[in-house]
Homo-oligomer: A and B are copies of this chain.
Amino acid sequence: MQAKETGDGFIILKLDDGEDLMECLRKAIKDFGIGSAFVTMGIGMLKHAEIGYFSGKGYEKKLLEEPHEMISLQGSISTMGETVIHLHAGLANRNHQIFGGHLFSAKACVLNEILIKKVDVRLGRKPNPETGLKELFLD
C-alpha cells in the first residue's frame, strides 16, 4: 500500500493486489492518526468480498470469491473506545451485474484507489439494544 495525506485532510490510499482492505484501512488509521473520518470513494477490484444484508436480527452474509469491479465504496471510521470501520460497497461481476451491501471483509484485486476525509467532529459507537448494532453517534 501507498498512502499520502493532502494539506486539507484527505488521505489517498493505493492498495496492491492481494492486500487486505480492512488491514490497510487500520494501518492508515494508525499511520495518519485518524480519529474520525469518512470513506468518500473507492474504485478498483475486490476478491473474497464478504457482503451482508441486515435482516433486523443479524446479517445474512454472502461471500463473493471471484474478482468484482468495485463500483463504489462509502463508509465511516470511528475510533472512540474501539475502532469501527463501517463500509458499504457495490460490486460488479463478469456480467456487469452489481451486488452489494455492508462490506465485512475483502482483498484488493489488481489494485484499489481509495479516498478518505478526516473530520473534526468526534465519531463514536453506541450499542442499540434492540438491533444489537453499534450505532454511530456524534460526540
Contacts and interface: CB of A to CB of B under 8 A. Distances in A.
Interface of A: 2-10, 12, 14, 38-43, 45, 51-56, 60, 62, 67, 69-76, 86-90, 92-102, 110-111, 113, 115, 117, 119-121, 123, 128, 131, 133, 135-138
Given A117-B10, A120-B6, A53 B110 contact: no
Given A8-B9, A12-B121, A43-B76, A71 B92 contact: no
Copies of this protein, total: 3
A53 to B, nearest CB: 5
B138 A2 contact: yes
Given A43-B74, A86-B43, A2 B137 contact: yes
Given A72-B74, A119-B10, A92 B101 contact: yes
A130 to B, nearest CB: 8
